[in-house]
Amino acid sequence: MVSCITLTYYVRGNPKTGLCHLKTKGILTHMGEMEYGPPLPKELMFKRLADEGITVEEAADQKYYPKELNRAGFEDLSYSDWDDVEELSGSCRNFLAGPIISDSFETHGERRDWRLEAHEKYGKVFSDLNYQNKLRLNVLGNVYSGLLSVIKTLDRKNIKTPQAETVRELSKQLPDLSKYRDIPTEQKREIVKNMEKVAHQFLDMLSRQSK
């Protein structure tokens, strides 16, 4: 038998009343894993989300990129610095494989509250899907910050190879994310498309070297 504890926790207070509201559906198993609800088939979850006005667009068939990356043009990077390039490669792959989950909420606070309820209602299937949502700023930020970090290293090492210059050119395509939370969903979708191009071009550049 698996022992478990129902966790009761407080979520942010109501700004008008100053009172907190209660959440009690999180379950902590003896393995230390949080569970938020019963398993639910993905197709059924999509239908229920659609009834709530939520649209889920899964990623189209993905272009294959080899996992082995050639270091040509990056030979002067240390192994730890090269790890950053490989990490950015992984972030690009994960981003391209993620879905787009769009809604009509007017504020980020409303969206955050809905996500908490959806985690409880739909369980791990939703949690995993939402974690990869391309419209989430954190998901965009993995590619954005990863690319800038690699460029910073290339500048510090004064690496001027054609491959390094290609990476620097990609940074000129990065969108402004400073007001991302406040812009309409359609503008966010355009930013996602732009970031998809950046991710593809970065992986294309490393994959061409591998041939």
Res 39: pLDDT = 64
Q: What is the pLDDT of residues 120-144, one digit of tens each?
A: 888 888 888 889 999 999 999 999 9
Phi and psi at residue 9, in whole multiples of 5°? -145, 155
| Main-chain phi, psi angles of 25, to 5 degrees | -100, 0
Q: Give pLDDT, residue 197.
A: 95
| Comparison of pLDDT for 178 and 65, the residue scoring more | 178
pLDDT above 90 coverage of the chain, percent? 47
Strand spans (E) along 19-140: 21-29, 34-35, 55-57, 100-102
Q: Mean pLDDT over all residues of the chain?
A: 80
pLDDT at 1: 41
pLDDT at 181: 86
